[in-house]
Amino acid sequence: MTEIRNLEELQEDQKRLEKSIENFRTPFAFGIGLATKSPYGNILDVSFPAPQLNSDPYTCALIANAVHWDGESGSYELDEQAMRRIQTICDSIKKNTDYREESAQVIQPILGSVLGASPPNGERIAAVSFISDSADEPVDAIDAYLRLHLLSSRLVRPHGIDLTGIFGKLTNCVWTNLGPFEAEGFNIRRVELQGEGIDIHVHGLDKFPRMTDYVIPSGVRIADANRVRLGAHLAEGTTVMHEGFCNFNAGTLGTSMIEGRISAGVIVGDGSDIGGGASIMGTLSGGGSEVISIGENCLLGAEAGIGISLGDNCIVEAGLYITAGTMVLIPDGSVVKASKLSGENDLLFRRNSQTGKIEAIYRGEDSSWQGLNEELHRN
């Protein structure tokens, strides 16, 4: 079918498309993206303008049919003919119905980019990726980029999708103002471009790009885009100041002030403040595998750090670093490892200025920490 005249025909065509695909099942997520392929054949990056999570079933069926999807997590390249055929159908849907899914709207811009002039770092290709189940591991770089987009687009929370082995799927790229380049041979390519009068500036050498080059989440402020990786999850109301940092598969779940470091896997709750120079370990210190989290309405003081989780309404004094094995004096007079207090609510961790001992005391209602500046985060 090349023209859809109403929603009834759309629904009928969707059923037909799904029946035509052996082992078809609704995927956990899918996306249509614009990828950069290096002269060596490696995928350098993929931009997914409208990643989908359990949504847009018609476009999903349409594209699955075009690439002969087998029902398993996987990625495919879309050739020009398939793209044009899909675009023709999407145009008729837009003309005749009120079906306005974003994934259908990105077909034309992606097609235009693929057919445009070749970039200096390789070639542009149209790619589609299907993730059958959130527990499936990434299968390739295209799949990996879709997962990172799902996180930064706030469609999934940190730890809401499997990222096992993602480092091995991504290419270590030279990130420039002209896009990513393969590291191999880059020094010569840079001189060639400069000889053509093209300015090129390197801002990173890494497997993960800046989030803001691919996803602009609503309702957040980021003072230095270099310090937030693609795959970071920043909830609306979050502010990341100049020295703040957020890694992939980590981030905030509500209004937060980030002036320190959020390591990979760390989750920060609503209303919490990560002070300047503060640091959060990615896993429970001492070789454990427990992921660190910070609850709601917490303050991690300037230059402080934690290797344990904090519950709600906790404070760690400025300059105090608490690892899992740190010995802490608690209110009943006993001394325990800090790991025993991991995740507990309403605690103030401090170093007694007279004895030098690290203490954990219960916070009272008259505590000096009264939460974030509401006016600052409302604007």
- Among 122, 146, 171, give the residue marking a domain's end: 171
Do 139 and 226 have their domain in common? no
Q: Look up 259 and say whether it is catalytic.
A: yes
**275 shares a domain with 220:** yes
Q: Are residues 218 and 162 in the same domain?
A: no
Same domain, 111 and 236: no
Domain identity same for 167 and 215: no
Do 239 and 301 share a domain, yes or no? Answer: yes
Quick check: is 201 in a domain?
A: no
Same domain, 224 and 154: no
Number of domains in the chain: 2
Question: 138 near 40, Cβ under 8 Å?
Answer: no
Residue of 47, 210, 193 whose CA lies nearest to 121: 193
Structural domain range at position 48: 7-171
What torsion, rounded to 10 degrees, do the Cα atoms 132, 134, 135, 141 define?
80
CATH number of the domain within which 55 lies: 3.30.70.2010
219 in the same domain as 128: no
Residue 204 falls inside a structural domain:
no
**H/E stretch holding 252:** strand 250-252
Report the CATH number at residue 244: 2.160.10.10
Residue 132 and residue 41 share a domain = yes
> Would 70 be classed as within a structural domain?
yes
pLDDT for the residue numbered 282:
84
The pLDDT value recorded for residue 88 is 87
Q: Do 141 and 19 fall within a single domain?
A: yes
pLDDT of residue 367: 56
Distances (CA, A) of 140 to 60, 76, 168, 368: 20, 10, 9, 50
- 252 and 363 both lie in a single domain: yes
- Mean pLDDT of residues grouped by 10 in the chain (379 residues)? 78 88 90 95 96 90 92 94 87 82 83 88 95 97 98 97 95 97 95 96 96 97 97 97 96 97 95 96 66 95 96 96 95 94 95 94 67 55
pLDDT on residue 315: 96
Tell me if 166 is assigned to some domain. Answer: yes
Catalytic residue among 182, 259, 296, 317: 259
pTM of the full structure = 0.92
In a domain, 176, yes or no: no
Whether residue 78 is found in the same domain as residue 217 = no
